[in-house]
Chains A and B, each alone.
Chain A
């Protein structure tokens, strides 16, 4: 029986790629380790190697095919003695487990609510990935304002470690798309100085984990100088990059920093989920006269959403958004957890529980009004976040509900958070450490008394 050769994942977060070229043809003998095909993603090109010995029996995906999903069978390998046999009707299950914490590769079926006051009625929509939306936001703002520039590790020549700055070097040149040495403390401080001297830097961290080297300059320099100079010297700067767990990168590269930065006066903190919000809020962040911490998510980069086709789509920082209306409980989430909350809401709806899902979008200033108004209708709040529970966003929301909605609560506020441990490296443990859809569903059912 022929063995299928599967589309491999070049990185833990890759969901699909292009089959660029076959290096072998049907009938060729193949030895283990021999390259048989070239595949490419927006980040890299790599060769697929044969694992077993045999003869290439059939090519299932022609070269030049784009968007081949990971683990799709791309060819069949026959043992030398085996007679050619028809391919199985259905592809066998992949042998290797897929990274379980990555968001599902299937396109999001969940749509924003029909009434979207921020987007004028009748506006044409276009599908964009979060990655493209962020790139477009930066490009539009750089065209609009010569003071805006981007710097960070690998943002220029390499187009961003996660390819967010695709095309920007070509359009704006090396003076405005600047590759830095590996020097977070230094280039963050430099960005702050440039902002205080009148430019509007966008500082990309390869991930927010590395910004711990630079947090002194984010908080002590950027967030406090307007205050400490008696209003003389502001700092219009955006710090951005992927935050939180991606997949299988272990404790030091998976941390979620929302509550760290949301804690600090002088900073604005934005953590969008959809591509439209990523675009509209990044544009707003770049124009904001204050330092803005912009928390992205590596898993979301490749996800597609409808984005309005508008010349200048800017969203207000500091406003949450009801992404699904409901009457039985309120679920708050931000960044990647919005998708999980919406999936949970679908499942809850099937069981007759109508959850209202709020995408917080901005964590400082937090849109308390929207959450309170919702809780006054639903009388129950479930907070979902990927980060640790202690002093987290959920802790803040629980306190705010006691201050502003105590008399409307029919039950204590419930938190679904990441486990209070460093992120495990092992895939099974990592999945357990991060809130999953079933965790949200279970917590919601318990909260409405229908566990």
Chain B
């Protein structure tokens, strides 16, 4: 027998679940202010998630997907990117989107069922939230192709879930990225559950990271509940891609502490005991313990931050709730880049109907049979 190939998959762990160090800190993480920034972003994400679930439960928001317990994956990934890189999120990356400049009000507008929420003021080249599973992976390869053809030192970064790694177009995207050495980094939010299907039923592969090997790119695991490790590992992959060395896959091991979305009840298919055990590993308390131990954080600062984040979210909620509904013509105006003559009549009739309805509403009660 001749061995023609072999591989090993590494896992990077820096902060232990109790907040003590398992490995030396990367140089950038010696800057306490930077760690506090990461902490603040995770707390803001959690406050936003909690609020958005409440809004859904009270009928003021559509279905939402909380990122409870996975904040470090999104925040760590975004923190590793440069502003000029392009981010392609799935529907659980609010932490990253907020970091990159999407506003809370815009996120709420989107989840409230309004396309205007995706026309955000922040990173204009970032992609809208990809709700179909994994279809943004080939898009990321396309963005990376554009960077490569235009010789721009930029990287396309996409985040998808463990379930998405079973999809054909995700594999096809990785294969293309590998063979064309595209500046593309995929972060797999391996939160162990694709709605009710556990990671063990998703693939017989020992890791998801090893799927990269078949595409000719490195795959690595990282503790996805450790924002320092995520930022470090994703950052290395991004800078490697930027320097022309090709794509990479980072499998961030984490856990979905909440339901899949507000339309799901996870208690029907997984044990409370499993979830309770996983709460001990969650990323926010872990970093807080570390910050406290380093003297960078205390109760007073924690309370101030919570109040600040709550205020920020509440202000955004007010603005979201006060936002007038989308004009009727929004339904027509973005189907094509220009209005085709055949749709002009449809647009006119929609406007007419909307005007009639408005007129009826403004009439006094009983004014018309």
Min C-beta distance of A326 to chain B, whole Å: 25
Asked if A187 and B176 sit within 8 Å, CB to CB, the answer is yes
CA gap between A32 and B118 in the complex, in Å: 70
Question: Known interface pairs A197-B86, A231-B334, A232-B128. Does A181 touch B169 (Cβ–Cβ under 8 Å)?
Answer: no
Q: Is B117 an interface residue (CB 8 A)?
A: yes
CA gap between A198 and B150 in the complex, in Å: 10
CA gap between A296 and B150 in the complex, in Å: 30
- Kindly identify which residue among B118, B137, B142, B171 contacts A194, using a CB–CB cutoff of 8 Å: B142
Instruction: Report whether over half of chain B's contact residues are helix, strand or loop; otherwise say mixed.
Output: helix
CA gap between A233 and B342 in the complex, in Å: 23
Enumerate chain A interface residues (CB-CB to B < 8 A).
149, 175-176, 180-181, 183, 185-199, 201, 216-217, 220-221, 225-234, 265-266, 268, 288-290, 318, 365-366, 368
Question: Known interface pairs A193-B140, A216-B132, A365-B343. Does A229 touch B115 (Cβ–Cβ under 8 Å)?
Answer: yes
CA gap between A321 and B132 in the complex, in Å: 40
Q: A193-B142, A193-B145 are in contact. List 17 more A-B contacts (CB 8 A).
A: A176-B149, A181-B176, A186-B175, A189-B138, A193-B146, A193-B156, A194-B146, A220-B135, A228-B115, A231-B119, A232-B118, A232-B119, A232-B124, A233-B127, A233-B128, A266-B335, A266-B336
Residues of A within 8 A of B333 (CB): 231
Enumerate chain B interface residues (CB-CB to A < 8 A).
86, 88, 114-120, 124-125, 127-128, 132, 135-147, 149-150, 156, 168-169, 171-173, 175-176, 179, 330, 333-338, 340-343
Among A187, A197, A199, find the residue whose CB has the most chain B CB atoms closer than 10 A: A197
Residue of B nearest to A186 (CB): B172
CA gap between A187 and B139 in the complex, in Å: 9
Residues of B within 8 A of A221 (CB): 135, 139
Question: Known interface pairs A191-B142, A193-B141. Does A318 touch B337 (Cβ–Cβ under 8 Å)?
Answer: no
Min C-beta distance of B122 to chain A, whole Å: 11
- Kindly identify which residue among A185, A193, A228 contacts B139, using a CB–CB cutoff of 8 Å: A193
Min C-beta distance of B245 to chain A, whole Å: 18
- 6 smallest CB-CB distances across A and B, nearest first, come from A193-B142, A189-B138, A186-B172, A230-B119, A193-B139, A289-B337
Asked if A226 and B335 sit within 8 Å, CB to CB, the answer is yes
Min C-beta distance of A313 to chain B, whole Å: 22
Residues of B within 8 A of A229 (CB): 115, 118-119, 128, 334
Among A176, A189, A265, A290, find the residue whose CB has the most chain B CB atoms closer than 10 A: A189
CA gap between A196 and B142 in the complex, in Å: 8
Question: Known interface pairs A181-B176, A193-B143. Does A366 touch B342 (Cβ–Cβ under 8 Å)?
Answer: yes
11 contacts between A and B (CB under 8 A): A186-B172, A189-B139, A189-B141, A201-B142, A216-B135, A217-B138, A226-B337, A231-B333, A231-B334, A290-B336, A365-B343
CA gap between A183 and B169 in the complex, in Å: 8
Residues of B within 8 A of A226 (CB): 334-337
Min C-beta distance of B341 to chain A, whole Å: 7
Question: Known interface pairs A183-B172, A365-B342, A365-B343. Does A189 touch B143 (Cβ–Cβ under 8 Å)?
Answer: no
Asked if A228 and B175 sit within 8 Å, CB to CB, the answer is no
Min C-beta distance of B154 to chain A, whole Å: 9
Min C-beta distance of B301 to chain A, whole Å: 37
Question: Known interface pairs A216-B132, A229-B119, A230-B119. Does A189 touch B137 (Cβ–Cβ under 8 Å)?
Answer: yes
Asked if B176 and A190 sit within 8 Å, CB to CB, the answer is yes
Residues of A within 8 A of B176 (CB): 180-181, 183, 186-187, 190
Asked if A188 and B138 sit within 8 Å, CB to CB, the answer is yes
Residue of A nearest to B182 (CB): A190
Residues of B within 8 A of A176 (CB): 149
CA gap between A234 and B119 in the complex, in Å: 12
Residues of A within 8 A of B150 (CB): 199
Question: Known interface pairs A183-B176, A186-B141. Does A175 touch B149 (Cβ–Cβ under 8 Å)?
Answer: yes
Residues of B within 8 A of A216 (CB): 132, 135, 169
